Structures are given as C-alpha cells and as structure tokens.
C-alpha cells in the first residue's frame, strides 16, 4: 500500500508534466488577453459552503464529497469544484468593492468520491473562470468565447457548443408545476434519488443519468418554452452576440447542468473523442448564488473544464503537445578536477539562463555521452585535465555533428550566440 497511489488518483510523472505545463501556459495567456486574473483558494472549506452553494439535491453533495471532522469538531470538505470557493473569497475579501465586473480564473485540484473511469478521477484538476457583477448577456458571450478560444488555440477540432436557458426562479416556479404534473404519472418508474428530488427540485430529474429517468425526461415539458419575457430577451440577446462573433451553436433544451445554483444561460462544449463522457467544458449563470452565500444580490457566470478530459481529447485527436526546450549543453568530465570545474561551469551557464547539465553518476566518458544523447541535449563538451590547463575545449553540435573550438572563459557568450 505504501507504494501504490489511492484509488482514483494518478501521478503526473516528469515525462508527462510538460503537457500539463503547456496547457496551463495556454490557459494563462488566453485569460490574460481577456482580462481575467488568477485566484487561489484553499483546498478545503467549511462543509456548509458547498451544501448551500451547490444544493443538497445534487449528486455531488449527496454522494460524492470528501467530508471529515477536524480536531476542533468542525465539518470540513475537500473542494469538489471551484465556484463556491471563488464566491466565498469574493465576499470575504470585499472584491465587490472594486470596479465591476470582477473577472477571475483558477487552475485547481478537486475531489469527488466516485467510481474512477476514463477521464474521471477522484482527484482531478479543473480550470475554471468566473465573472461577477454583470447581468448583461454580453458577459455570457465573452465567457463562452473564452472557452472556445482556449480550445481553438490548443488545436481541438470537431467541437460543438450547445446552449440553453433554464430561466430564473420566477419562470421556473410556474414551469416546475407543469413538470411535476407530468412526472407524477411516472413516479413509480423514477430511481430512488429522483423520487426524492420530485418535491425538492424536480428540474434535477432531467439531469439524471439512469436510463429509465432519461427516457421519461425526453417527453417532459421544455423549460425553454416556458421562459418569462425577461429570460427570453436575455437568451435571444445571447444568441445575437454569438452570431455576430461567428460562434456556431446548437440549442439543446435538455441541458440543465448538475448543480442547483445555475440560472438562465447554461452551456456545454462537447467532444466525441472520449466516449460517453463527451463534455469537455460546461458552465452557465448563477445569479442567485452570491446572495445564497450571504452577499448582496449579484449576478455571476462561469465555467469549469477538466484538464484530464482535455488531455484525453487532445490525445484522441492525435494533437501533439510541444515538448519543453531541450537542455542546451551537457558537460562531460574526466577525473575529479574536471568534475569540480564542470560543476562551476554549469552553474555559471544556468545563472545566465542557459540550460546545462553534467554527470552526477560514476559513468565512463562513453556512458556520459550516451546519457547526453538520451537527454536530447543540443551540444556536448568534454572537459578533462588538458582542457582545464589550456582553457580551451571542443563543443559538438549533436544534430549536425559539427565541432567547434571554444575558450572556457567565453563559454557563456558562445552558447548565448548559438
């Protein structure tokens, strides 16, 4: 057990970490261009934050949270998503006092106790974006375009944007009555969880993954046909923005999203390259969440994107992520005096921003050169007593085989020019 990672977790080994770093660099670049700044929140929060924020009828709260009691008797939960923590920070740190909207993003680890499967782990990583303070549909369009820009910049193809509106509490109240009347005829066929949701939040039944519940939901009244005038105008305006931004979309009336805090706009970006779990990115509005967590009524919108799933999508489409820049020079050494000199030379190179490596094992010169080749270094240099005494050495280009004479005192300047 000591040498086996817990079920549902996965190491990112050095040979793979460059992929994560590339995605994270791309995320930061896109977010910077949109004016979104990074926020970092604790990995655990008070359990009530997620219970109130996500809703007690959600699968996450009911079945999947990692909750424990700390030594002070407080109920603590490892974060299962990022939005609730971002809202808590927005309130605690009075970010609402700054000019609005407040635009932020995060790259975090999240924790949900569920059966591990392809693209879904118990510890997973999420990129999320949140914008607080604007109710205008233009910010909805901006959030969607940010997600699409990121995926396009990563080279992802064949994506579909699906949008819907699930209205506000006002129009949902009337819709829920119609939905409950329809579902009443099928109560005996609903799963146990959905029978419990029937009174508390019937809309969540339409998000159930059980086949019998999905079949029943297909013929349920459509919320999009029951929007109030304000919500209809908001949705029409969003569609107009997307059209003028040349962002193609489909209207999917069955998108309701899995968390209770969503209102009005909801959307998903789908890829068919990772099997049944095809949603690469999903999000929407949560205009009542900040008030629910103790703040003044404040609109908000955001999305979450699973990095593991994104990597699967890139892999499924055969998209190669650029490797990190190779080490520029490897200094092989012969003898103790040369090893000490090599140590000082690689330090001098690194101080000037030149990547350099030397031997740290008891390798022969031949073995050192083989090691340098495996590292994929651009140049090699052999350092022995003769090179130290003369102050001169030979630098070999590992791609072309070309060898040039250099002076050790000018090694930094020489490599800077190459």
pLDDT at 248 over 90: yes
pLDDT at 352 over 90: yes
- Name the token pair of 200: 């508390």
CATH 3.40.50.800 boundaries in the chain: 329-417
- Residue 303's CB is within 10 A of a number of other CB atoms, namely 23
329-417: in CATH 3.40.50.800: yes
Which pLDDT score is estimated for 58? 65
Lowest mean pLDDT among 84-98, 194-208, 368-382: 194-208
pTM, full prediction: 0.89
Name residues whose C-beta falls within 8 Å of residue 95's C-beta, 6 or more positions apart in sequence: 89, 102, 132
Which pLDDT score is estimated for 55? 67
The pLDDT confidence band at residue 276, using thresholds 50, 70 and 90, is very low
Q: What would the pLDDT profile of 285-306 be if each residue is shown by its tens digit?
A: 999 999 999 999 999 999 999 9
pLDDT at 356 over 50: yes
pLDDT at 311 over 90: yes
pLDDT over 70 percentage in the chain: 96
The class of domain 14-168+228-316 in CATH terms is alpha beta
DSSP string, 153-199: HTT--S-EEEEEE---HHHHHHHHHHHHHHHHTTGGGS-HHHHHHHH
CATH 3.30.930.10 boundaries in the chain: 14-168+228-316
Rounded to the nearest 10°, the torsion over CA 398, 402, 403, 405 is -120
Q: What would the pLDDT profile of 185-234 be if each residue is shown by its tens digit?
A: 888 888 988 888 888 788 878 878 788 888 888 888 888 989 999 999 99
């Amino acid at each position: 057990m000591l040498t086996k990672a817990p079920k549902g977790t996965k190491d990112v080994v050095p040979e793979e970490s460059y992929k994560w770093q590339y995605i994270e660099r791309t995320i930061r670049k896109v977010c910077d261009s949109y004016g979104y700044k990074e926020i970092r929140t604790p990995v655990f929060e008070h359990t009530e934050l997620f219970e109130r924020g996500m809703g007690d009828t959600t699968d996450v709260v009911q079945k999947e949270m990692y909750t424990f009691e700390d030594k002070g008797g407080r109920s603590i939960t490892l974060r299962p998503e990022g939005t609730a923590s971002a809202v808590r920070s927005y309130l605690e740190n009075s970010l609402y006092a700054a000019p609005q909207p407040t635009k932020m993003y995060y790259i975090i680890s999240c924790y949900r106790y569920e059966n591990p499967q392809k693209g879904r782990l118990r510890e997973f990583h999420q990129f999320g974006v949140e914008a607080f303070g604007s109710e205008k549909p233009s910010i909805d369009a901006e959030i969607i375009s940010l997600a699409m820009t990121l995926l396009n910049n990563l080279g992802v193809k064949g994506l579909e944007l699906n949008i819907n509106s699930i209205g506000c509490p006002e129009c949902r109240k009337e819709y829920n009555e119609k939905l409950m009347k329809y579902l009443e005829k099928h109560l005996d066929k609903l799963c146990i969880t959905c029978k419990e949701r029937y009174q508390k939040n019937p809309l969540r039944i339409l998000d159930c993954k059980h086949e019998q519940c999905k079949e029943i939901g297909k013929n349920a009244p459509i919320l999009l046909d029951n929007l109030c005038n304000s919500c209809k105008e908001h949705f029409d305006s969003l569609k107009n923005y997307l059209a003028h931004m040349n962002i193609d979309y489909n209207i999917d009336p069955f998108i309701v999203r899995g968390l209770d805090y969503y209102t009005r706009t909801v959307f998903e970006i789908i890829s068919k390259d990772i099997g049944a779990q095809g949603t690469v990115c999903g999000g929407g509005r949560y205009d009542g969440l900040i008030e629910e967590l103790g703040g003044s009524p404040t609109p908000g919108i955001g999305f979450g994107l699973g990095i593991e799933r994104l990597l699967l999508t890139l892999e499924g489409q055969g998209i190669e992520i650029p490797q990190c820049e190779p080490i520029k020079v490897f200094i092989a050494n012969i003898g103790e005096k040369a090893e000490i000199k090599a140590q000082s030379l690689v330090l001098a190179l690194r101080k000037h921003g030149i990547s350099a490596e030397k031997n740290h094992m008891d390798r022969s010169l031949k073995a050192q050169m083989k090691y340098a080749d495996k590292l994929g270094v651009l140049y090699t240099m052999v350092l022995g007593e003769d090179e130290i005494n003369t102050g001169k050495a030979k630098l070999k280009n590992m791609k072309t085989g070309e060898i040039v004479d250099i002076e050790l005192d000018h090694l930094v300047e020489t490599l800077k020019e190459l």
